[in-house]
Structure 1
Amino acid sequence: MLVAEDCIPCILKMAIGGLRSSKLDANLMRKALMGIMEKIMSTDDVWEITSAELVERALLFIKNFTGITDPFLETKQKTNATAMALMAHFRNYIKSSRDPLFTSTKLSIIANVIDNMVLDGNSQYHFDKIISDVESLPLDYGTYEKFLDKLSTSKSIVIIGDNSAESLFDMLLIETIKKYFPVEASYIVRHEPTLNDVTLDDALNFGLNQVANVITNGIIGPLPGTILRRCSAEARNLFWNSDMVIVKGGGSFETLSEEKIAMPHVFFLLMCKCKVHMSFFNKPIGEGIIWRRDSYELREHQKQVQRNSL
């Protein structure tokens, strides 16, 4: 999915949050913001790249301007600590639910809203809402059944992580899957810090390596997505040779949906969080998404629908 007009204010909002966390004075803040608008948002190819790539360019500008590599680190660590303290509570919730696999899938999807591109600046997600949100989350059960069918025939799965605290709920999903199916699980994290996304240090701190083989995607640069040609050979081999790939989040959806090849073994799990996604999926904001791109032609059709609706 390429950059759309509605992506621009969203990315600028993220950039303002990152600059504020750098504690610049007002004059430097405005200078940096003008620089992003003039040097990042006004390039000739801005409409020919994905929003994740545009976010990467903005983050590299912030890094060069402030000298800070990970402007969202403090906020991420606070959110992670809060989520980790609640893991036993959520494990019990899954265990006591009528359908633990469906519940853990919905939890993993709804945790996708723990996102610096959605939250206001450096604000925190309110975890006390998550169970009520899960109970009311609209999710197409027909697509979920296809997801379940693929799981039931898979011997190896790989999950591509997104936001850091979200990956704790992915860990609960992996734990639950393994209770139902004898699968080998791998988990791919960001190679470099970007936004509040999961890194190798985060994953090891969470104990994700106790339920899955954890590797980084190998991508050099703060890209909040997955571009296969930029991934390491190890990550690409896992992607293509695993029986099933579960891709979390909007950034990896937007980048992988641009790959000119069918991916029938790949399922995308995310929340519909913006107008661009709403147009693409034909779903309202706030609905959970399980999406499978069976063919490259389907991607082209849905891109045309998106263009026509903007």
Structure 2
Amino acid sequence: MHILKSQQFSRPLLEAVVRRANEFEVLWRSSSGRYRMRQLFSEKMLFNSFETESVRTHASFCVAGLRLGMDVPPLQGGGRISSEYRNRGESLEDHIKVLNTMGPDVIVLRRPEEGAAERAATVSRVPIINAGDGKGQHPTQAVLDVGTIHQKFGAIDGLSIIIGGDLANGRTARSLAYLLAKFKDVKIMFVSPPELRMKSDVLEYLDKYHVTFTEHEVLEEVIAESKVIYWTRSQHEKADGRVVYEDIERRYCIDAKMMERMQPDAILMHPLPRNEEIHHEVDSDPRAHYFRQTEYSVPIRMALLELALGGNSHAESLAEAA
């Protein structure tokens, strides 16, 4: 079962994945639970094929696989696979076919070009999990973001959620917005400079599913209305060169003074890595949840690996909802 984009998830399936991740968290706290988890996929093998670097995503998938008892051979170092295949002119499709011959049971793929995971899925005999495809999507990050919100509030229905920063180039913001459309009475407030606003395909999808959303340029005007502030960094490496990021980073940053405007029980989230958009002085605030997101990434990705391999008996099949 391929995991390629957020639109694939129905609400029941998404909730089943979050429940399973929570079960894994509890199991890991005991030696008997750890032993049981390591028996689940002890005869399976995970390949992580990352052309673009991501220590967090790469490491969490490695740890997730190992906790499930999987063999996780080191295809790369530092969270990045060699781009030898590209330098020699090998196509993505051939690269995936070659990996398939070596006997993996699942391939986690990260590539700089949008749509790479879907292309890979057309030629792979084993499940492909999209760990980021250019400006496209990062569905496993979005699932752990939704899970983090659910753990904090117990439900997502009815929440007001800010998604802000570089929305034009940030795939995590796109994937999260798609997933939030699965819940009732959610209000999304997009905050960004005009040149980095959310793309029309996401907005049209939200309209299609009758999700209330608004667009804003000033965080101060809406921060007090929200239970969740999901902030993202400037994506310099994906920009087209026409955006002056220095001024944007100065205007769109969250510091201790900005935190004073937040509700007492609200949370501040960030997919990481961060640059200057969240000051380090904020880290000690109990509402800062970005390191909790990172901690939760392992059990969520364990649940997603299990889903991809068809091992979760109470999870339904991925159903295209788009």
TM-score (norm. length: structure 1): 0.36
Higher relative contact order (CA 8 A, sep 6+): 2
Could you say which structure has the higher helix fraction?
Answer: 1
